[in-house]
Amino acid sequence: MPKNSKVTQREQSHEHVTESVADLLAHEEPLDYKNSSLNVGGAAGKKVPQLEVPENDGRPAWNSKLQYILAQVGFSVGLGNVWRFPYLCQKNGGGAYLVPYFILLLIIGIPLFFLELAVGQKIRRGSIGVWNYVCPRLGGIGMSSLMVCGFVGLYYNVIIGWSIFYFFQSFQYPLPWSDCPIRKNGTLAIVEPECEKSSATTYFWYRQTLNTTSTIAESGGLNVKMTLSLLVAWIIVCLAVIKGIASSGKVMYFSSLFPYVVLFCFLVRGLMLKGSVDGIAHMFTPKLEKMLEPQVWREAATQVFFALGLGFGGVIAFSSYNKIDNNCHFDAVLVSFINFFTSILATLVVFAVLGFKANIMNEKCVVENAEKILGYLNSNVLSHDLIPPHVNFSHLTTSDYAEMYGVIKAVKEGSFAQLGLDPCVLEDELNKAVQGTGLAFIAFTEAMTHFPASPFWSVMFFFMLINLGLGSMIGTMTGITTPILDAYKVQKEILTVCCCVVAFLCGLLFVQRSGNYFVTMFDDYSAGLPLTLVVILENVSVAWIYGTKSFMRDLEDMLGFRPCIIYFYLWKYVSPICLIVLISASVIEMAISPPGYNAWVQELAQERFQSYPPWALAMCFALIIVAVLPLPIVFIARHFNLMSDGSNKLSVSYRKTMMKDISNLEEQDEARFILGAKPGEAPSVPARRAYLTPGGKKPLDPNSLSPNSCYGTSYQNAAISPTTPTTPTSPITPESDS
């Protein structure tokens, strides 16, 4: 502080003065709400240990803005963009589905993504630290995020393990799933019955890859191949995140960009395949009547929600390594639209390939049924007069078969069903909706067996899946390790290795022969409901407890410009209402839908829905309860002062920002800020440019984002030492938005 400043002059005098907040911060007084003399119910006069704040907190930072953007893109763009979005698009009206998805992206996705980026960047802490600061009583938000990240990381890395197994199996010609295996019975060689009843790719997935059991109750022991693949997956993840963003940021340059190279290559190759245009036309043909169904909007909202990774804590963790003045609004819009266009690109690729596969399967259907008709003609079951004269069985087209099929069906109406002829309609093949593992490991792999140089395309496809999964896993692991590193000063390398080892041991549940059913269980129950509740509370804590207007002013101070006023209404009204409707619809669907899974029945060589046994059903609900349990526990514990609120662990950078702001005010009019005009007169807040409310009637109160705002007091009051004589003032509370 300059020697000629007014504070220095008063220190040299013998007059009784009241210290400013800037002085207290400069002297590094602890910022502890509970020990403040102005704390309601606090213990006044209690000696507080001094908080030592280093000059530099040593928090890592991104090497470049590009590295940070790629990290956010890698986290948000994942396997769901490839195998979930195309399925929803096909199921919910083709091109018509894009309309509700885009609308909900604008009113839910971008605002909430922006909110998470902003609070992480401002407070520079992981999910636990951020919500402890914003509202300590809702500090359980960060802990619930941590729990969900743990559950998701356990099974998500199993999918990467599956992709690794297929990746190494792809270095063969022909591909091992291109033909059914032959079983030798003495001198006879017969096709494997289970494979013949299903298909070569389906058999390879369920029998040779997973070797799955028929029920979830049958463990079947560990699958050695999948256990080794899972171990390799966790080693890769551990190496990628062991140095924090110093290592994961470099990995993101490749893992985030390589999938786009593969997708563009697949798109170009797919458009050159016969029937690809049929698939794309089928995808983009809008069924506008679908837009009136509530189910379509619910599924679109769910996809927007999970596509951006809201509530996981990874978004907050990544943004906490940014500079305080980074333009996070631009980042939110950019990453959201990159995610959306990636989904569109992946959908084009998927439907181009599925259109090619549908044509192959339709031609195969025509050939098989034409052979049946020839057999009926030779055995005089059918008359040659039923066959149109222009039909040539050696060069039978789909249109010729359709014409012949229609004639036979009309003439043999009574006995047509006994002939066992299929219509072989291309539209029926295109309407066979597949998603998730069924799309990646069955439908897509089957299509690639018909590609020229099929091993090359298979290697590229599964290497792309590995990179997509790795980008999401890096964000998930960062969402776990960053809050722990913020709370406990442990060595990040040791923490990362310990987390990966524990996760691998817990992940052995998913590499049993019945492990695929547990992956489905965790995917259905461990994330959906808890994450929606977490994001609702995030929205409410910022928009209603802290105050939307105060948050908007903080954003203006941080970004240097006013965010669009539409965010005020989106955060305060639109997003909370949409989220409440979404969670209500999810609970209703969960209540009316029988909980169960699709089990592979070996004898039938097909999937069949089975209900969960009682112990598995209890496990499903335990996943939900464990994930949301920190919310009420932390609220009750802090309401009754049974747990520290964490407010005395304020980030160094945030405290420095406060000191700088207050010092600037001091230079402008320090006397007005610190002392009243007369002894005993309450200090007045210096004039500053007010951020007007949407109505323009009322300026905002001069509060900044603070951990104690939930309690109705700000850092200025919390920082006042109990031993310092002060002029009585009323605490500054966050302004109400009501």
272 neighbors 81 (Cβ within 8 angstroms): no
CA separation for the pair 645, 514 (Å, rounded) = 43
Q: Is 468 annotated as a binding residue?
A: yes
Sort residue 552 into left (φ over 0), alpha (ψ -120 to 50) or beta. alpha
**Signed CA dihedral, 394, 397, 398, 402: sign only:** negative
217 neighbors 237 (Cβ within 8 angstroms): no
Q: What one-letter code names the amino acid at 738? A: S
Q: Which contacts (CB < 8 Å, 24+ apart) does range 374-383 have? A: 376/419, 381/419, 382/408, 382/412
Q: Which residues of 16-52 are buried (b: 16+ CB within 10 A; e: fewer)?
A: eebbbbbbbbeeebbbbbbbbbbbeebeeeeebeeee
Tell me, what DSSP letter sits at residue 512?
Answer: B
SS3 586: helix
Q: Is 229 annotated as a binding residue?
A: no
Q: Is 343 annotated as a binding residue?
A: no
CA terminus-to-terminus distance, the chain: 41
Q: How many CA atoms, within 13 angstroms, populate the side-chain half-sphere of residue 478?
A: 33
Residue for token pair 């290497």: 463
Q: Is 93 annotated as a binding residue?
A: no
Counting DSSP H helices and E strands in the chain, the numbers are 33, 4
Q: Residue 510: which of 717, 226, 93, 704 has the closest Cα?
A: 226
Q: Measured between alpha carbons, how far is residue 643 from residues 44, 118, 368, 646 in Å?
A: 18, 27, 72, 9
CA separation for the pair 496, 502 (Å, rounded) = 10
Q: Is 472 annotated as a binding residue?
A: yes
Parallel/antiparallel/unpaired status of strands 606-611 and 596-601 = antiparallel
Cα angle: 499, vertex 502, 508; to 5 degrees: 135
Q: Is 651 annotated as a binding residue?
A: no
Q: Which residues of 392-425 are buried (b: 16+ CB within 10 A; e: fewer)?
A: eeeebeeebbeebbeebeeebeeeeeeeebeebe
CA separation for the pair 109, 184 (Å, rounded) = 57
**Signed CA dihedral, 9, 14, 15, 20: sign only:** positive
Q: How many CA atoms, within 13 angstroms, populate the side-chain half-sphere of residue 181?
A: 11
CA separation for the pair 166, 175 (Å, rounded) = 10
Q: Residue 218: which of 7, 498, 516 has the closest Cα?
A: 516
Give binding residues for Na(+) as ranges.
74, 77, 81, 339, 468, 472
Give binding residues as ranges.
74, 77, 81, 339, 468, 472
